[in-house]
Amino acid sequence: MASSSSTTSPAAQARGGRNPLEEWSGRVRALEAGFRAWMAKQPVHVEAAVTTAVGAVQGGALGGLMGSITADGGAPWVPPLPPNANPQAMASFKQAQALAAGPLVQARNFAVMSGTNAGISCVMRRIRGVEDIQGSMAAAFGSGVIFSLVSGMGTPNPVASAITSGVGFAVFQGGFFMIGQRFSKPEGVSETNYYAKTSSMLQNLGLEKYEKNFKKGLLTDHTLPLLTDSALKDVKIPPGPRLIILDQIKRDSGLAKAQ
């Protein structure tokens, strides 16, 4: 029994007494932060392409799951369309088919919609330097247009239907964006304005947990061009993240310029 405990103790000591699940979660978070830091240094087209692909995979998985539920009877059955139906009935029938299709069709529709939304959001964030309601609505409009065209909901006038769907998506997502901002930023709009670029930069780098350090030290968007290693050290940000933040500010002309 003594020899058994002595052979297992080195493994426990090597882990430093940490929970294996916590250690694995920490490694995943570190990989994610490294990937985001790498993405932030890439050109816009590379980041947009990768973001679009990731969004398409996630949307495809969600659509496939919804299609499977539909196939199992989780959604209402769509009755056959009677012959010689008018164009309005045909359009409604196409919409019902798009929302109650099988796993493969749903996976395709949601992959295209989610990928388009993610790609446009990425480009708008890089161009505007912040994730705001304009970028969110632009991404929603594009995803709504693409979803309408790919899913075949646009009969008898696919262009008009695509534009209508895009506007509907944009209004819907814009409303949710405003509601989310209202409940997630109770301290007011002024603080959002002061930390808009800071928050966006930290999110892109996977270092969003240090946003509170910036706010405690009053390191606003106006101080980004003036940041030094000692200033970041004073707000208790570790050496690794400090180097990543300073390198990002040096590479990004929008952050390096005075406000």
Q: Using CA atoms, how far apart are residues 210 and 236, in angstroms rounded to an integer?
A: 9
This prediction has a pTM of: 0.54
Q: Quick one: pLDDT at residue 184?
A: 63
Q: Using CA atoms, how far apart are residues 223 and 220, in angstroms rounded to an integer?
A: 5
pLDDT digits (tens, 9 = 90+) for 80-118: 545 554 555 445 545 555 555 677 888 888 899 999 999
Average of per-residue pLDDT across 64-71: 72
Q: How many residues does the chain have?
A: 259
Q: What is the CATH number of domain 195-257?
A: 1.10.150
> Is a pLDDT exceeding 90 seen at residue 74?
no
b/e per residue 149-185 (b: at least 16 CB within 10 A)? bbbbbbeeeeeebbbbbbeebbeebbeebeeeeeeee
- DSSP symbol at 71: I
Q: Using CA atoms, how far apart are residues 1 and 91, in angstroms rounded to an integer?
A: 75
Handedness of CA 122, 126, 130, 134 (dihedral sign): negative
Tokens of 187: 């301290």
Q: Closest Cα to residue 104, out of 54, 61, 147?
A: 61
Q: Quick one: pLDDT at residue 117?
A: 92
Average of per-residue pLDDT across 232-238: 93
Q: Start-end ranges of CATH 1.10.150 in the chain?
A: 195-257
Tokens of 203: 């999110």
pLDDT digits (tens, 9 = 90+) for 47-58: 889 889 998 999
pLDDT digits (tens, 9 = 90+) for 171-190: 998 888 888 777 765 444 44
Share in percent of the chain as helix, strand, coil (round to 5): 80, 0, 20
Q: Quick one: pLDDT at residue 229?
A: 93
